[in-house]
Structure 1
Amino acid sequence: MHIELTPQQKKAQAMCKEFAQTQVAPSANQYDQEEHMPSAIIQQCKELGYLGALISQRYGGHPLDMITFGLINEEIGRACSSLRSLLTVHSMVSYAIQRWGSQQQKNYYLPRLATGEIIGAFALSEPAVGSDAKSIETSAHSDGDSYILNGQKKWTTFGQIADLFLVFAQTDGRISAFLVERETPSFSITPLTGMLGTRASMIAELHLQDCRIPDKNRIGGIGFGLASIAASALDIGRYSVAWGCVGIAQACLDASLDYTSQRQQFQTYLKDHQLIREMITNMITNIQAARLLCLQAGYSKDIGQPKTVMETWIAKYFASTNATRVALDAVQIHGAHGCHINHPVQRYLRDAKCMEIIEGSTQIQQITISEYGYQTQSY
């Protein structure tokens, strides 16, 4: 199998790399320390069309094939995982509405999501519920032509600034999905700070206290929230995160190559020490493997292969665990410098560890992938 990017894909990647390395990377440590993403850099993402990457031209989007979408997530993730997480959650909401929404919802929300007039956020996790999503406690009770929502959501990425939330709630024992606008009465947002990684992703806790949501804002049928809507959105999220992990690992490799070519110990450059070369070799090899898995996942999405979801699980599992290993080696190579807040490799390590938790933890992925192996075993 020969894998080669098209001229259009190469051009899109080069353009994104230029943006990420000149406009994002130089200030990424500052964003991390301040736990804030400036509106100006988000505006640039809007102008580049990245917030409409998965939205049809019919609704004003700038649709990309899935490989190009992945490459953009890699380049932005290479510069700043927090900014990449904006593309992740915004794209998850956009994708869910485009695939599952009513025509009215598509006409109303997608053009505004495509331009970034409104920002989307994905609200599934709760204070007491993470991986066991079917056990969410937020409730939605029918009341005439509306639903009354009560509950809390937690760890909502870019929840501090989002305008539209895809909220999941129990409706008579079945999980359904609702589009909740920021200005909805009795809906409040509490910023969360002090996170280990992706500290500029402006995470929030959401509070719904007798929030009246019109029936027209229910997306999909009753009971379709988890198995259909959340599952398909999370597949997009995993794909974005997987590519972002490749970006983190590549940034670690870039920093390690530069540092070991300049730093001397024992009268020789670090790059000439064999144990350093072992770490660099492992970085190069595993980054290439992670990127190939992501390309395979993207290709399977572009051609509509049924196994695309599992391809994405595998890519995310390998890319995220590899990013942590690579980041650990990068910090080790940099020594005390790599442990200081002003050096980006410590940020890469913190961000990488979070990638093993979000959009399916490493352990959930191991359970899922191994189960797939047993189900498809040939006798």
Structure 2
Amino acid sequence: MDAAAFADSVRADAAGWDRHGGVPVEVVHEVARAGFLAADVPARYGGRDFSPAEVGRLCADLGGTCSALRALVTVQGMVAAAVLRWGNADQRARWLPALTSGDRLAGFAATEAGAGSDLAAVGASLDSGRLRGHKRWVTFGALADVFLVLATRDGRSVAVLVEAGPGVVVEPVTGQLGMRAARIAHVRFDDAPVAEVLAPPGFGLSHVVGTALDHGRFTVAWGCAGMARACLDLAAGHVATRTQAGTPLSEHQAVRAVLGRCLVEVRAAQRLCAHAAALRERGDPAALHETVLAKYGAARAASVVGEHAVRLHGAAGVDADSAVGRFHRDAAVMRIIEGSDEVAEQHLGRYALRGGA
């Protein structure tokens, strides 16, 4: 089953997952069996050799149904990308097949109460092979078997793999604004034994975590483009059948104008994502900056189109099980994770000064 068909098969269930606070474990296993986890990893490690564009379309299909499913693919891919790029041969052979098959579910643990966008300020520390620290907002942290954790050792950043078990305390998060089905957790490490250190000390943030975040931004961008398209389709379908004084809403000029603006947002997001994918495919150094641009633009598009879709749905848009309402809430979160709007704007401003425009 391809991603579009899979997304269609679970579309009716997504509202319930959001309401009850979690993608069911059996659905997570279905995603793994379908081969959607770390699909861009080389086949020799169990992946599917997906190109950037193929990974993007996968995330757009899932994102247009349930952001939590896309988030599952994102976090697994982030950790796999870091291991593939910075792990040694033994680490790649040991961890990548487990990540691609879903035998090990991953969490990415970088954010702390005092270190959100400023990851250089993390307080988690590694000493004598034991990790201490408290990480927040770990996507699928409530189900994770292994965590990629940013910490420091002797004042230098390190990225380590820590398996769930003794010394790892998971605190599930519920009731947050969006991404309610993404099994988010806060995770405390109390002298937890470290399974692996990826790359030399000093490379943890700039290299290992940087690789993970870049992969995350790319998949979030495509997921947001899928969300924006889904919101437009839902809005167009609603106004075509909803009548006001005997006239379909779609006959009102103001409604058509809103849909036109939404179409521009969707197409722009799709093109930004496709351009970033093409640059990644050929290894162009500008891909890093264009990925930031794609994530920024697509997240804003999902938020804007989601807001318009909610308003066009009227009272139906704020129903607890409304898809457009869920997407609108999730889009607000997308403008924060993997780099907030303000952080992205600073990055893109520097890029523009260097001629990126």
TM range (shorter): over 0.9
Instruction: Name the count of aligned residue pairs.
Output: 357
Contact kept, 8 Å, 2:162 with 2:193, in 1: the verdict is no
Aligned-partner Cα distance in 1 for 2:38–2:67: 19
Question: C-alpha displacement at 1:210, in angstroms?
Answer: 1.8
1:149 to partner: Cα distance:
1.3
Post-superposition CA distance 1:97-123 (Å, at most 9, x none)? 011001111111111111111111111
- Residue identity opposite 2:74 in structure 1: T
| Partner residue in 1 for 2:230 | 251
Distance in 2, Cα, partners of 1:51 & 1:289? 27
Give 2:351's aligned residue.
372
1:172-192 deviation digits (Å, cap 9, x = unpaired):
221110000112x21211111
Map of 1:311 onto structure 2 = 290
Q: Which amino acid aligns with 1:169?
A: A
Superposition map of 1:171-190 within 5 A: 171-183=153-165, 185-190=166-171
* 1:238 equivalent in alignment to 2:201: no
Q: Which runs of 5+ in 2 are unaligned?
A: none
Q: What is the rounded CA distance, in whole Å, between the counterparts of 2:62 and 2:83 in structure 1?
A: 24
1:329 counterpart residue number: 308
- Decide whether the 8 Å contact of 1:54 with 1:94 is kept in 2: no
Judge conservation of contact 1:121–1:156 (CA < 8 Å) in 2.
yes
Aligned to 1:68: 54
So what's the TM-score if we normalise by structure 1? 0.92
Q: Distance in 2 between matches of 1:251 and 1:342?
A: 15
2:136 and 2:356 map into 1 onto residues whose CA distance is: 38
Residue in 2 aligned with 1:103?
89
- Indicate if the aligned counterparts of 1:118 and 1:164 stay in contact, CA closer than 8 A: yes
Q: Which moved more, 1:68-77 or 1:277-286?
A: 277-286
**How far apart are the structure 1 equivalents of 2:30 and 2:356?**
48
Aligned counterparts, 1:144-223, within 5 A: 147-183=129-165, 185-213=166-194, 217-223=196-202
SS of equivalent residue, structure 1 residue 321: helix
What value does the CA root-mean-square deviation take over the aligned residues? Answer: 1.3
Cα deviation, 1:7-34, whole Å, max 9, x if unaligned, reads: xxxxx9xx31111012x21100000000
> Which whole-Å CA distance do the structure 1 matches of 2:321 and 2:67 have between them?
16
SS for the counterpart of 1:52 is coil
Aligned to 1:29: 15
2:69 aligns with one of 83, 89, 104: 83
Q: Secondary structure at the match of 1:131?
A: coil
- Separation in structure 2 between the aligned mates of residue 243 and residue 377 of structure 1, nearest angstrom: 21
SS of residue in 1 equivalent to 2:333: helix
How much has 1:376 moved relative to structure 2?
A: 3.3
Distance 1:63 1:45 in 2: 17
Residue 16 (1) aligns with residue 3 (2):
yes
Asked whether the equivalents of residues 272 and 293 of structure 2 are also in contact (C-alpha less than 8 Å), the reply is yes
- Cα distance in 1 for partners of 2:6, 2:103 equals 21
Contact kept, 8 Å, 1:93 with 1:121, in 2: the verdict is yes
Distance 1:240 1:377, change over 3 A: closer
C-alpha displacement at 1:377, in angstroms? 7.5
Matched, 1:297 2:276: yes
Deviation of 1:211 after TM superposition, in Å, equals: 2.0
Alignment of 1:136 onto 2:122: yes
Q: Distance in 2 between matches of 1:377 and 1:127?
A: 34
TM, length-normalised to structure 2 = 0.98
Structure 2 counterpart of 1:4: none
Structure 1: how far apart are the matches of 2:355 and 2:271?
22
Runs of 4+ more than 6 Å apart? none
Give distance in 2, aligned partners of 1:160 and 1:257: 37
Select the residue among 74, 90, 99 that pairs with 1:113.
99
Name the CA distance, whole Å, in 2 between partners of 1:230 and 1:108. Answer: 20
Q: Given that residues 97 and 105 in structure 1 are in contact (C-alpha distance below 8 angstroms), is that contact kept between their aligned partners in structure 2?
A: yes
Q: Contact 1:187 / 1:209 at 8 angstroms: preserved in 2? A: yes
Give the C-alpha shift of residue 41 in structure 1. 1.5
In 2, Cα distance between equivalents of 1:198 and 1:247: 15
Distance 2:50 2:311 in 1: 38
The runs of 5 or more residues in structure 1 that have no matched partner are: 1-11
